Amino acid sequence: MGNAGKLIVEHIPKAFRFIVKSNGAQAVLDYRVLPNNIIEIFHTEVPPEYRGRGIAKQLCDSAFKYAADNYLKVYPSCSYAEKYAKETSNQAFKNLVVQNPKIVGS
């Protein structure tokens, strides 16, 4: 996965997943679609040998951009996505965040 600046994030809509692949390793961000035009980011994972290189941030950047482009809100339920939402300097991304959405029937 080398230099995080040169990695390509791929969105796989049918799997509700964003991935970065390199040298047989894969980093992932999984989300699910909730009612009321909300996506929940519930899982991010980067292989241990590639942590600390900004890969999870790139995954979150892509997921939040997808949400913004599609007029969706974001519920960041995984710890990394929650940290990203709090720390991003992108105010437009911060404005997408919802906490504890009320879901009928859950």
Sheet holding 10-12, edge to edge: 10-12, 17-22, 25-34, 38-45, 73-76
Kindly state the average pLDDT of the residues 81-87.
Answer: 97
Residue 106 confidence (pLDDT) above 50 = no
Strand extents, DSSP E, 3-66: 10-12, 17-22, 25-34, 38-45
pTM of the model: 0.89
Percent of all residues in the chain with a pLDDT value above 70, rounded to a whole number? 91
Listed residue (88, 86, 83, 28) closest to 55, CA to CA: 28
What residue ranges do the domains of the chain occupy?
4-94
Place of tokens 């007029």: 71
State how far the Cα of 21 lies from the Cα of 88, in Å rounded to an integer: 24
* pLDDT the model gives residue 5: 52
Q: Which CATH superfamily is domain 4-94 in?
A: Gcn5-related N-acetyltransferase (GNAT) (3.40.630.30)
Name the residue with higher pLDDT: 99 or 70: 70
The token pair that represents 78 in the structure block: 């995984």
Q: Is the pLDDT of residue 51 over 80?
A: yes
Q: Which residue has the tokens 């679609």?
A: 33
pLDDT number for residue 58: 96
Report strand pairing: 73-76 vs 38-45: parallel
CA separation, residue 35 to residues 23, 60, 73, 98, 103 (Å) = 37, 21, 10, 13, 7
pLDDT of residue 100: 81
